[in-house]
Amino acid sequence: YGLLLDISDPANPTRIDAVADSNFSYWHSATFSNDGKKVLFTDEWGGGGQPKCRESDPMEWGANAIFTIENGKMKFQEYYKMSAPQTSQENCVAHNGSLIPVPGREIMVQSWYQGGISVFDWTDPNNPVEIAFQDYGPVAADQM
């Protein structure tokens, strides 16, 4: 689950909202937009040990889910997954990411295990766009 908490009283946090997504296997982390009006959750499907970026894999598996926060409720907007298809020998799911400080924009760099690194803009939560990537390639041609 993705949780939204009020931590204005750190000793007594309260749950504001929660979201679930049947496409997500392992809710790994959350990144808030600079203004706190959006949140991006990552799905580390299989604990990062599975190839979930193949052309045959659904876009939603091992991806990011972007939500807006409206009146204390999280509202799903779109999924984002790196665009370069990977092989069955490359473990690839959304992993750790960080915002790059660009005023007025949500630019994020994120690792995808053997899938490499993706830099993408999710300022428009309905239309996240990859702006750069680096693809490592498989460690070995015949095994993961």
- Cα(128)–Cα(47) distance, rounded to whole angstroms? 24
- Cα(103)–Cα(106) distance, rounded to whole angstroms? 8
Q: Is 139 among the domain residues?
A: no
- Full domain range(s) for residue 90: 2-134
For 33-52, write each residue's pLDDT tens digit.
999 999 999 998 877 888 89
Q: Is 78 among the domain residues?
A: yes
109 phi, psi to nearest 5 deg: -110, 135
Instruction: Give the number of domains in the chain.
Output: 1
This prediction's pTM = 0.93
Q: Is there a contact between 86 and 56 (Cβ–Cβ < 8 Å)?
A: no
For 80-110, write each residue's pLDDT tens digit.
999 989 999 999 999 999 999 999 999 999 9
Q: Is 141 among the domain residues?
A: no
For 24-33, write each residue's pLDDT tens digit.
988 889 999 9
Q: Is there a contact between 33 and 128 (Cβ–Cβ < 8 Å)?
A: no
CATH number at residue 33: 2.130.10.10
